[in-house]
Structure 1
Amino acid sequence: MRVYTHSACLLHDTGPGHAECPERLQVVTDALREAFPRLDWREAPRASRGQLLRAHSPELLDLVLDNPELKRHPSERVMLDPDTVLSPASPEAALRAAGAAVAAVDASLLGSSPRVFCAVRPPGHHATHDTAMGFCLFDNIAIAALHALDAHGLERVAVVDFDVHHGNGSQAIFEHDRRVLFASSHQMPLYPGTGARNETGDGNIVNAPLPPDADGALFRAAWTSTLLPAVDAFKPQLLLISAGFDAHRRDPLAQLRLETDDFAWISRALAQLANRHSGGRIVSTLEGGYDLQALAESSVAHVRELLA
């Protein structure tokens, strides 16, 4: 199994006390290297402008990659919103995070590594077509899905998202693109305020919101009764995972009560589904998770099931 990462992702500087910190990625890569010595580690390439433009507007690319405030003050951070930071090293990190997802799709579909994990930051699933938000600059998983569709000619790609926060950016990008099924469990109410059950797009959006303090039993029931059957019926040719681990009971930014084993369970279920429909092909990319111990343990549990 291949893992894409890049040292540039550690240099994205969100500032003191920010939850989306470089240490998040460091604990994930350290834990994976220790747990799985035979993983095939690869350096993430940069995404091209054309690959980014499949998902995002030219104006967003200019804001992130050629920010005028950052040019005027090249040693300072720029706040794109109260939570989303652009530092001098952020453009390179964003290009590598998106490029990892693109390279992972190529590796999965061309047969060199059917299952791939992208250990990258910044995360992506809140970035919309034209807005960076919620710690996210570019929507890495959306860029990956559109690359699979447009460059590889696939007809059906599923994006599944178990981050505790709803992937509003991914939903918005795909809600009128029936080549993509977007299926999400998430806490509600919670940032960003989207993800109600009645948000169905063109019939290709399936949301299963969970109340605060929902535990693993409720999480598993939502996937078993609603989300997994929808993905199964869609019969995706490639399965993409927005792998956020902030629904863990230890996480400080939300109030779900999942255990590490719940992430192993959903990863195992998704791997079985991929075996049925996509030749086992899965690309997973890191999203949230802000308790370092829970993040490391859950990432290991996730990758262990993808390796099985």
Structure 2
Amino acid sequence: MELTSASFSDDQEVQQKTKHFFQLAKLCLKMDIDSVSIDAIHASILIGNLCGAEGETAGEALFFGVAFRMAHVLHLPKPEPADDSIMQEIKIRTWWSLYMIDTWSSAGLNLPRQIHDKECHRLPMAETLFWCLEPGQRVESDYQFGIGLWGYMVMLARIFSEIQDLHVRLADGELNEQHMEEITESLARELDRFLDDLPSNLQFTVDNLKFHAAADLGRAFIALHLGYHHYATLLYFQYFDTQLGQTPSRAIYVARCKYHAASFSDMLRLSHETENCEAFYLIVAHMTVVSSSALLHTLLFGSQDELLDTRKRLCFNFELLLKLKQYWPGVDLMVSSF
């Protein structure tokens, strides 16, 4: 508890102990590294994220790698005969958490993925129903619980992995411009289909935001929609390249990138204006830098009527990055590059 909360404490003395708690946690895990368990996986995930927050990329890759390997040793998310529904769901959520971590970290660290999605495992159930499960309870069919916010985040992560693959193939020179546009349009349709297929209570509206905030799910609800706009921004970002041919599709994709970057910033601002919805996790800093990069293009090359709102968004993004920097030292590198 001290490890995860010290950075956010109002007590300066407690904040100063953050690094001490961090080093102690690493030492404790290393001393018991051969104890393969769900708890050890969760500890490895926590420490891997903290390594990332401190800018320790080697440590981040190492501890995430330990978590991935332990998951394989335990054959997650396959349940044991003695598992009740709570443990079954914990294993499902742990597996998909690792899948999303692997998708993100492999892109950031330029490493091969280790958790592969074969679409043979069910998605996490609705959060409120998970919270209502009782110890020892066994539910014959978990599908009756539907899909929760975490499940929809997994769906988005699947699309992100395809966007990531597109970027890798572009960097390797495997695609010509026509093929790039064909894949982009296919992925754009996937993103549109994802948004259209969301249940009405998960569509982004102010009322839905307040509803989820009241249920203690506001931050997860915001994370889902911030992720959608971030992935869309990434999909279209390469079309800012002036060396590409001036095709009708390129102009459309540039406009879409600008739209999603602006929508991300507006949604982020709204999350910080709505109680119990604030996005303060580390990865939001990276997402904000991407949004800001696209907004800078609008500021430099956009039309006159776009400039005022774009400046406001850039100012908010920068202010938020400075605020996140107080909690996550790794944001310093992002702010410097911005």
TM interval, short-chain normalised? under 0.3
Q: Between Structure 1 and Structure 2, which shows a larger proportion of helix residues?
A: 2
Q: Between Structure 1 and Structure 2, which shows a larger proportion of strand residues?
A: 1
Higher-Rg structure is 2
More relative contact order, 1 or 2 (CA 8 Å, 6+ apart): 1
TM-score (norm 2): 0.24
TM-score (norm 1): 0.26
